[in-house]
Structure 1
Amino acid sequence: MKLDLSENEIQRYSRHILLPEVGGIGQAALKNASVLVVGAGGLGAPAALYLAAAGVGRIGLVDDDVVELSNLQRQVLHTTPSVGQKKVESAHERLTALNPEIVVETWDARLDGQSAQDLVSRYDLVCDGCDNFATRYAVNAACVRAGKVLVSAAVQRFEGQLATFSPERGGGCYNCLYPATDGEASGLSCGEAGVLGAVTGVMGTLQATQALKEILGIGESDVGQLLMWDALRMKFTTMALSADPACPVCGGGRQHG
């Protein structure tokens, strides 16, 4: 691992470096790390902003959508002049303006099984905040195959969920938590159910925090736990996740070949 930080980087990340848990070695670890962020929407926007601000050296961003006016209530990567622009283009401009020291790679695509596998294998860790179950299952399966940690977040209305998956370290995978009986689960999107914009900001920021903890190797592991937040009651609840021994993705029911 390269430990060299430029004078600009030392100044930029000085508040990190002051932390004994991070220091110069930890900041260098962030500089040498790579994270794939799936979705440049309500969750991916704050997650990507804080990963970029923290100095994660290479950030990949995947989204196939364009910025709409209704996005701006929560998707803080984008601004009013971005309406009509590809989200990955708008995100690239914002992230590189925030931190020109990092590399931002963008993918104007919706991931399926093969494309998810190809992209996931290029990064150290994955943050998934996409808005459809088909992509979530594809990303989860790719992370299991590649042995990558998956930090998954979801929101609806006034509630959020966050989980960190690594079958090798216990707790199973996303499919253990939400089994796919027909390849895709059912549920309302934000466009159908609505969401308080600030809820996505909190959950996306927690997602970035989990990713930074994983890269730095600090704090208590959150693998095998599900964090749930009810914003109306301002209450956090944590429950243990159990791996499904028969899970077709990470367990004994897995299809090989």
Structure 2
Amino acid sequence: MNSPNLSADDISRYSRQLLLDDIDDAGQGRLQHAFAVIIGLGGLGALAARYLVGAGIGKVLLVDHDTVDKSNIHRQVLFNQAHIGQHKTEASYAQLRLLNPHTQIELAEVQANSSNLPSLISGAHCVLDCSDNITTRKAINAACVSQRKALFIAAASQYSWQAINLRCNGSDSGCYACLLAQTTVQEDCISQGILGPVVGMAACFQATQALLYLANPKANMTWGQYTIMNVATAQFQSFSLPAYKHCEVCQCLA
């Protein structure tokens, strides 16, 4: 394998994913020029960041205001006992730099909200919502719709994980606000508990979708499809998310 666009180190480092039709050397080049924002460095964001940086994304912004707690370690794969009490952004940076020194990693030690999100996601090619509460998700959704950013949402609680890909362009599906208007969403691992591998599966799905999009915008992906997987019972559900005609967030773009 030889590519004029990739260095010998690139070809060696990414050799396995370069064999994929949706990646190859052109897709790897797109990844190396891509910028993703990951909001939340818990069980979702820690693993998603690990995979995006490992795959050779050019730039990633990690957004989180929390510190590492002992209760985090069973599912938040970037952290161990030595990180307890450290800010998650700083601990993540140290681990990810060891993984891939070629990725530009930026940190925002803030709570994402409606005031700072427009500037946090400005310039990004996509956003990964790895937050842990509906209020933050609503703010992320509104900011992505406003700037028409591709948004990849995942969540997990108990033995189930959920995910959805949104173009946030007001045309081919609804947005997260539409979802809340049409169904009950329960996403709370603090009160309901969570098994580590379950949130890991959600993060793997989310990272895969983001990487495919960044490497090949024309990849055969499903947008606006809400996916639910109960890992304990192996039950899988999926349904299309239509736009809610009274949605004040996304229907202004239609």
TM bracket (short chain): over 0.9
- Mapping of residues 110-125 of structure 1, within 5 Å: 110-125=111-126
Distance in 1, matches of 2:227 and 2:76, equals 22
The alpha carbon displacement at 1:223 in A equals 0.9
Summarize deviations over 1:45-69 as a string: whole Å, max 9, x none.
1111111111111011100000000
Residue equivalent to 2:100: 99
Summarize deviations over 1:22-54 as a string: whole Å, max 9, x none.
111110000000110010001111111111111
Residue equivalent to 1:241: 241
Summarize deviations over 1:2-26 as a string: whole Å, max 9, x none.
x732221111011122223311111
Kept after mapping to 1: 8 A contact 2:149/2:168: no
The amino acid of 1:202's aligned partner reads M
Bigger CA drift: 188-197 or 97-106?
Answer: 188-197
Residue equivalent to 1:55: 56
| Alignment partner of 1:225 is 2:225 | yes
Kept after mapping to 1: 8 A contact 2:156/2:187: no
**TM-score (norm: length of structure 2):** 0.92
Other structure's SS at 1:143 match: helix
Bigger CA drift: 168-177 or 56-65?
Answer: 168-177
Matched residue count: 248
Other structure's SS at 1:164 match: strand
Identity among equivalent positions (%) equals 36
Where does structure 2 lack aligned partners over 5 or more consecutive residues?
none
Summarize deviations over 1:233-256 as a string: whole Å, max 9, x none.
1232211111112101001599xx
- Mapping of residues 119-158 of structure 1, within 5 Å: 119-158=120-159
Kept after mapping to 1: 8 A contact 2:89/2:107: yes
Aligned pair partner of 1:172 in 171, 174, 178:
174
The alpha carbon displacement at 1:132 in A equals 1.6
RMSD, matched Cα:
1.9
| Alignment partner of 1:4 is 2:5 | yes
| Alignment partner of 1:201 is 2:203 | no
The alpha carbon displacement at 1:70 in A equals 0.4
Distance in 1, matches of 2:96 and 2:35, equals 15
Distance in 2, matches of 1:156 and 1:207, equals 15
| Runs of 4 or more consecutive aligned structure 1 residues displaced over 6 Å after TM superposition | none
Distance in 2, matches of 1:205 and 1:58, equals 19
Bigger CA drift: 11-20 or 212-221?
Answer: 212-221
Distance in 1, matches of 2:231 and 2:116, equals 35
**TM-score (norm: length of structure 1):** 0.91
Change (3 A) 1:151 1:186: closer
The alpha carbon displacement at 1:226 in A equals 0.6
